[in-house]
Amino acid sequence: MNRVLKVASHRPFVSLLQTRMVSSLLISNPKYAFLKELGLQEENAGVFNGEWKASGAVVDSVSPATNEVIARVKTGTVEDYESAIQAARAGYEQWSDMTAPHRGEIVRQIGDKLRSQLQNLGKLVSLEMGKINPEGVGEVQEYVDICDYAVGLSRMFSGKVIPSERAGHVLLEQWNPLGVVGVISAFNFPCAVYGWNNALALVTGNSLVWKPAPSTPLTAIAITKLIEEVLQENKLPGGICSLVTGEADVGQALTKDPRVNLVSFTGSTEVGRIVGQQVQGRFGKILLELGGNNALLVNDDADLDMVVPATVFAAVGTAGQRCTSTRRLIVHEKVHDQVVERMKKAYAQLEARIGDPLDSNTLIGPLHNQQAVLKYKATVAEAIVQGGKVECGGQVLERSGNFVLPTIVSGLKHDAEVVHRETFAPILYVIKMKDLDEGIKINNEVKQGLSSSLFTQNISNIFKWMGPKGSDCGIVNVNIPTSGAEIGGAFGGEKETGGGRESGSDAWKQYCRRSTCTINYSKDLPLAQGIKFE
C-alpha cells in the first residue's frame, strides 16, 4: 500500500534526510532509466485537466518486488476532481462536434504513441504492478490493439434504418455519445482496462475522467502524458482525457456526480455493489467488471497434455491476480489423480522461476502488496481447516518483496466456503466431478460469473457447455484456459461479476445513447397504429 509521506518542514536536518530519501528512489537508479524516458520525475503531479496540477497528499509508488519506492505522486483531492470534470465537460463540447472518422484519426495517433513506448511502458507496468515483463508489454499491446479496433470502428458504428409503418416516413437509429465517461480502474490491469474504455469512449465521441488504482498512479500518469502529446499536437484540449489519482474520496465524488454519464468500474464485487447502486440512484449508466471465480473443467476425454500447461498458465499467471485466473480445477474422477500428479510436477519446476518481474527468467512475480500476502496465508490456513490438503506450495517466501509459492489444494468439497470466495493469489482448488453435468452444476453454483473453460474432445459436450444448460459465465472457453482474452470479443461476466462488457463485439454501444429518429418527408399526418387525432 502507499504510505502517505509527511510534508517536510523547513528544519535543516529534515532536508538532509530528504536528500537521502530522494537518492534512494528507484527512478534515480540508471537501471530504471525508462522511467525518465516516459517523462516521470521523482515527484509527479497526479492530476491532469489540461495542466498537471495536484493539491493532495504525496504518496509513494512502491515496487511489489522489493517494496522500494519507485517515485512519488502528489495525488488529487475532491477539489482537483472538480477541476478535472469541468475540463472533461468543456473538452466534450469540442470533441463531440468532430466527425467520428476524425476522432478515429486521433485515436490512431494515440495507438502509435503507445507503440513507440511499448517496451518502456511495459516495464513500468511490471515494476509498479508486479506482473512479469511479457505480461506488462502484453497489456500495452492490448491498448494498441483496441486503438486499431477503434479506428476501424470510427467508420463503422452505424445505426439501423428500419421500415416505417407510416407512408412518407423513415425510421432510423443514430448512436450519439453519452458525454463524460468516468473510468475507475484496478491495480491488476493498470493499463489495458483504461485502454479498452479510452479508445472506445473516444471514437464514439465522449471525453473521459480516469481515476486509477491508488497503488498504480505512475502507469496512469505515463499513459496520460502520451495522450496529452497527441492532443496537443492536434490542438485539442487536454481535458478530453482527464486524470485524477487519489483515494476513495475521489472515486466517491466521481460516482455520485451527475455530470459523469457512464461510470466504468473495475474492482471488487463488494465495492462494485455500492458503486452500481449509487450510479443507478442518479440514473447514470454503469459498466461493472467485478469479481470472478473461474473454473476449468477437465472431462475424461480431455487431452491432458493440453490441460496441464493451460492450467498452470491460467492459475499462476500474474501470480493469480487476474480477474480471469483459474481458481477451481474441476476434474473428472477418472483422471483426477493423474491430473493432480502432473500438476504437482509442473508446479515443482516453478519455484526456480519466481522472482523479479523484469528478469527474463521469471515466470511468477510478486503479489501486489503485503495485504495480499496476508490474505494468501489466511486462505491457505482456512482451506486446511475446511478439509483441504495442500498438495504443493502454501508458503510465503522469506525474501524482500511479496513473494509466495503457487499452491494446489485438493480434497475440498465443491461448496466449501473458501472455494466460493475469490482470493487474488495463486491458489488452485482441485475438485472431483462424476460427469460433465455435475461439473457444470459446480461451475455455476458460485456467485461470480466471469470466465470458465472446458477441456474435452467431444463435440456434443462442447455445444452443451456453450448452450443454455451450460456455463453461465460471460466467457465460455473450450480447450483454452480461463484467462487470456483477446480484444475482438466482448469481455465481462454475469451475476456478481456485474454484467458489463468491454472491448470488442458491440461493447461500444455502452458508451452511446441510442437516438431513435422518425422523419416525416411527406405531406400528411398519419399517426402510428392508425390512430385518428382530430
Ligand X SMILES: *[C@@H]1O[C@H](CO)[C@@H](O)[C@H](O)[C@H]1NC(C)=O
Site residues, ligand X (CB under 6 A): 458, 460-461, 520, 522-525
Residue closer to ligand X (CB basis): 9 or 529: 529
Q: Which of 360, 460 has the CB closer to ligand X?
A: 460
Least distance from ligand X to the Cβ atom of residue 434, Å: 13
Strand 494-495 to 448-449 pairing: antiparallel
Does the annotation mark 233 as catalytic? no
H/E element holding 107?
helix 100-116
Residue whose CB is less far from ligand X, 258 or 468: 468
Residue 521 CB, shortest distance to ligand X, in Å, is 7
Cross-sheet strand order for the sheet of 427-433: 389-392, 407-410, 427-433, 326-332, 294-298, 451-455, 475-478
Nearer to ligand X, 39 or 526 (CB): 526
Shortest distance (Å) from residue 453 CB to ligand X: 17
CB proximity list for 341: less than 8 A, separation 6 or greater:
none
C-alpha dihedral, 471 to 477 to 480 to 482, nearest 10°: -70
C-alpha cell at 405: 509459492
Nearer to ligand X, 78 or 466 (CB): 466
Chain position carrying cell 518542514:
9
Burial class (CB in 10 A: 0-12, 13-18, 19+), 26: middle
The 3-class SS string of 212-243 reads CCCCCHHHHHHHHHHHHHHHHHCCCCHHHEEE
Written as one letter, the residue type at 31 is K
Smallest distance, ligand X to C-beta of residue 170, A? 12
Min dist. Cβ of residue 175 to ligand X (A): 25
Q: Kindly state the smallest distance separating residue 532's Cβ from ligand X, in Å.
A: 13
CB 298 within 8 A of CB 329: yes
- Cα separation, 197 vs 146, whole angstroms: 9
- Asked if 352 and 405 count as a contact pair (C-beta separation under 8 A), the reply is no
Q: Where are the alpha helices (H) located in 117-215, listed in sequence order?
A: 118-129, 133-153, 192-203
- Cβ nearer to ligand X, comparing 15 with 522: 522
- Which CB atom, from 349 or from 522, has the smaller least distance to ligand X? 522
Q: Transcribe 284-313 into DSSP letters.
A: -EEEEE----EEEEE-TTS-HHHHHHHHHH
Smallest gap from residue 456 Cβ to ligand X (A): 8
Q: How far is the CB of 454 from ligand X (least distance, A)?
A: 11
Residues 6 or more apart in contact with residue 319 via CB below 8 angstroms: 130, 131, 364, 365, 366, 367, 404, 406, 425, 426
97 versus 524: smaller Cβ distance to ligand X: 524
Between CA 412 and CA 328 the distance in angstroms is 11
DSSP label at residue 3: P
The catalytically annotated residue of 128, 289, 391, 496 is: 289
Closer residue to ligand X (CB): 11 or 523? 523
Least distance from ligand X to the Cβ atom of residue 179, Å: 30
Instruction: Check if the beta carbon of residue 402 is closer than 8 Å to that of residue 187.
Output: no
Q: Which helix (DSSP H) or strand (DSSP E) does residue 516 occupy?
A: strand 512-520
Active-site annotation, residues: 289
